[in-house]
Amino acid sequence: MCDSQNEASINNFEIALRMRDFEIVQLTQRNNFFMVFQGVMFAGLMQSGHTKPIVSFMVCVAGLVVALFQIGVASGAKFWQEYWEQMLSEYEAEANAANPELFHDDDCKYESSVKKRMSHRGFGGLASKLVMCRFSVSRIPIYVGIALSGVWGVLVLCTLRAYPPLSVPSCVVGF
């Protein structure tokens, strides 16, 4: 009975690992789509010469909506990544209590392992400090979407400059 439970935990661990990896790959592909799409819209907006104000307005609105969708997609992917990582921790504990855990909540273990490896490889300075900040590659697309939403939002407001409170600030002079 114990062996079959251990085997089931190992199978569950492998499935959870594949699912977590799938979520990360999908996040990257989806985020790339949103970034390219917004880049094309922004380039088109800049090249348009703003001869048709309604087109500029609609492109900016579309950019804002796409950026908001990017936030939603990245947040959803992050949710499932976190779920599968939690499952990995649980299945690992069930399957192999005798060996060290790969997934755990002890930040000091992670930091000491990474510092030791970087030290042995001669990796230091600013790059080392940035690595130790542990930026999340799955959270950054959420932040990018938020930042782009802000940019598109300002651009939407700038297309409405006929309304004095929404005009381009006088400190913005362009190129």
Say how many domains are in the chain. 1
Domain membership of residue 156 (yes or no) is yes
Domain membership of residue 35 (yes or no) is yes
- Let me know how many helices (H) and strands (E) the chain has, helices first: 5, 0
Domain membership of residue 151 (yes or no) is yes
The domain of 86 spans: 2-166
Alpha-carbon separation of residue 40 from 9, 45, 85 (angstroms):
46, 8, 35
CA 148/CA 42 separation, integer angstroms: 11
Look up the pTM and report it.
0.72
Q: What is the pLDDT of residues 131-147, one digit of tens each?
A: 888 888 888 999 999 99
Res. 162 pLDDT band, cuts 50 70 90:
low
* DSSP assigned state of 173: -
Nearest alpha carbon to residue 27 among 99, 65, 82, 93: 82
Domain membership of residue 171 (yes or no) is no
The pair of three-digit structure tokens given for residue 65, joined into one six-digit string: 């909506």
Domain membership of residue 175 (yes or no) is no
Domain membership of residue 173 (yes or no) is no
pLDDT (0 to 100) of residue 144: 94
Q: What is the pLDDT of residues 2-58, one digit of tens each?
A: 666 667 767 888 888 888 888 888 888 999 999 999 999 999 888 887 777 888 888
